Copies of this chain bind each other. A is one copy, B any other.
Amino acid sequence: MTINSNTNILIVGLGVIGGGYADALTKKGYKVSCITKEQKDIDYALSRGMITYGTTQIEKDLVYNADIIIFALYPTVFIKWIEENQHLFKPGCLITDVSGVKSSVIYKVQSVLRGDVEYLSHHPMAGRERSGVEFADKNVFLGANYIITPTEKNRSESIETLKELGNIIGFGQISLLSAEEHDEMIAFLSQLTHCIAIVLMNCNSTPHLEKYTGDSFRDLTRIAKINDRMWSELFLMNKAQLLKQMDAFLEEFKNLKSLIEEDKCDELREMMKASTLRRSLFDKPDTQDKK
């Protein structure tokens, strides 16, 4: 399927990601409708030209007319939505979701889904630490990484369609990973970092530290402002991988601690040189980190 101005795109869940996708697609001339829980979010999106139509009801015709449906819901809510409403899909439609964990979502959904509908999952590696459509910003996707996670049930044609979707929205690097590779990678790059930020905000209750802080601490804890419902789901749905990454981090942290305890200056400097070298790989393409 090629995405064009006649393609009916339906977004379910108008939050930071759903809203950002809607805005990016609508502003480029595509036809975007949405289903979401709160009328006020629809009003907000309509008033800013982010969608062409929105409803708080699961309207049969709207779902049936959709060629592509993008789910931007909590993982558990997404699975339940499919179970309850999949009879409404048009045969041949393509559904995708933006969930932050894959194995525990994809295999569940594919196992219950009708055979005449294709589900291909993906993960946009961008977001904001706030929730709600009023914080949606299509610019956070520009140049960001975008990961498609096909299984053997997916057709290459659908993979091309999802690549096209990523390109239209403005993502940078578009990659394919298996669900398992994705979950291992995300446990390290995203879930472990959120764990660290949460721990940093909970391990020292000295008052007024904000008067003395620099940007390092601000940067490491930006994501400590966290949607507790979503992230507790993500952590627990990817528990085995996350615990593995937490253990690897713990081991290396203890190693660093020993070097400090034993005044091993040379080894300490080697570890810093290695981190400096490896970190340079992670600079955003075409922008040096700004600070």
Contacts and interface: CB of A to CB of B under 8 A. Distances in A.
Interface string A195-236: 111111111101001111111111111111110110110011
A225 B280 contact: yes
A277 B195 CA distance: 16
A148 B43 CA distance: 51
**Residue in A177, A199, A222 with the greatest tally of chain B CB atoms within 10 Å:** A199
A289 B135 CA distance: 13
B239 A291 contact: no
A146 B123 CA distance: 41
A151 B284 CA distance: 44
Nearest to A188: B204
Contacts of A193: 200, 216-217, 220
A200 B140 contact: no
A214 B145 contact: yes
Q: How many copies does the complex hold?
A: 2
Contacts of A201: 274-275, 278-279
Interface stretch (A28-36, A47-55, A78-86, A250-258): A250-258
A15 to B, nearest CB: 16
Nearest to A187: B204
A271 B124 CA distance: 26
Contacts of A140: 291
- The listed residue with most B CB atoms (<10 A of its CB), out of A144, A190, A253, is A253
Given A210-B282, A253-B253, 7 more contacts: A188-B209, A189-B214, A203-B249, A203-B251, A222-B291, A224-B279, A239-B263
23 contacts: A145-B211, A173-B211, A175-B212, A185-B212, A188-B206, A189-B214, A192-B200, A193-B200, A195-B256, A201-B274, A201-B275, A201-B279, A202-B275, A204-B245, A209-B281, A210-B282, A219-B222, A219-B223, A222-B291, A225-B279, A232-B269, A239-B260, A239-B263
